[in-house]
Homo-oligomer: A and B are copies of this chain.
Amino acid sequence: MSGTEAAAKTPSHGAGTRIRVIEVGPRDGLQNEKVRVPASAKVELVERLVDAGLRDVELGSFVHPKWVPQMADTAEVARRIRRVEGARYWALVPNQRGLEFAVQSGLDHIAVFLSSSETHNRKNINRSIAESLATVTEVTKTALGEGLTVRGYISTVFGCPYEGDVDFARVLDIGHALLNAGVVQISLGDTTGMGVPPQVRDGCARAVAAFGTEQVALHLHDTRGLGLVNAVQALEVGITSFDSSVGGMGGCPYAPGASGNLGTEDLLYMLDAMGYDTGVDLERVVAISRDLELEHGVTLSSKYFRYAGARL
């Protein structure tokens, strides 16, 4: 195959396709920051992210504050936010009690979660996968009964820091169970950034084939620098929803070595450059990150932010 033939073949899939970027920084990013960010700043953060064009923002979690103190004010944040028509405000919910808090806070989009690794699930949630699946299914059913929309995170799908390899067939089984229970979308979490390109490509292709494009999102971490490369692999096999974190904030507190969700700016810059449509104003997101860093001393690892933020 000559170079020019190859060049002519590939980039066509991108141009014009709408990509949904799910902003998880206010939850998955902030929950791992040591500096405490006040509720008023979180409210402003979420509002500015929506104003920049993001239509899905995860604003917090109802996990017990003993485990994730940074998220203790999620109810307050949820209640204070100025809502924008068409935007979806998500919160992470671990159980029925968390769901009650979410409903009381006026939220109608929640995310449930479990791991595809027994050891990671036990360390993170203190249960077996089967037990977690039972809880998550029950919470989803209750939520649907109350008219809510539910998303389902599956963690460590491309590798577990404790167990190493994860059988992707198990990921697909969990995905089936979640979608059967009524979640609108599963999010495949590369929780500690262990995924490598051929593996991510293969896993995403299998998930899209099994469940459909709209039903699958990819949640990448850039721990070892492969975040965007893995995103391209996923795009090429039909993934059109990606979780990312403003400025690249955050990681997984229970996974050694994890640092850095895929940065929203890195993802947006690449998608723009490849001709995808995101509906998000990148430079406004950069300004949000810059203010986060200046005002709250969080550590932001997004390379595009480090480049563009320095020029503001």
A→B interface (CB under 8 Å): 1-4, 6-7, 10-11, 14, 193, 196-198, 201-202, 204-209, 222-226, 228-229, 232, 236-238, 257, 259-260, 263, 266, 269-270, 273-275, 301-304, 306-308, 310-311
Contact = CB atoms under 8 A, between A and B. Distances in A.
16 contacts: A1-B238, A3-B207, A4-B209, A7-B202, A7-B206, A10-B236, A11-B198, A196-B270, A222-B303, A223-B303, A225-B228, A225-B304, A229-B229, A229-B270, A257-B310, A260-B303
Contacts of A222: 303
A204 B269 contact: no
Closest 7 A-B residue pairs measured CB to CB? A225-B303, A7-B205, A196-B273, A3-B208, A3-B205, A3-B209, A225-B266
B232 A197 contact: yes
Nearest to A222: B303
Nearest to A197: B274
Contact of A7 (B201, B224, B266, B311): B201
A201 B4 contact: no
A270 B225 contact: yes
A303 B225 CA distance: 5
A57 B310 CA distance: 32
Contact of A2 (B3, B7, B11, B209): B209
A309 B142 CA distance: 46
A311 B307 CA distance: 27
A235 to B, nearest CB: 10
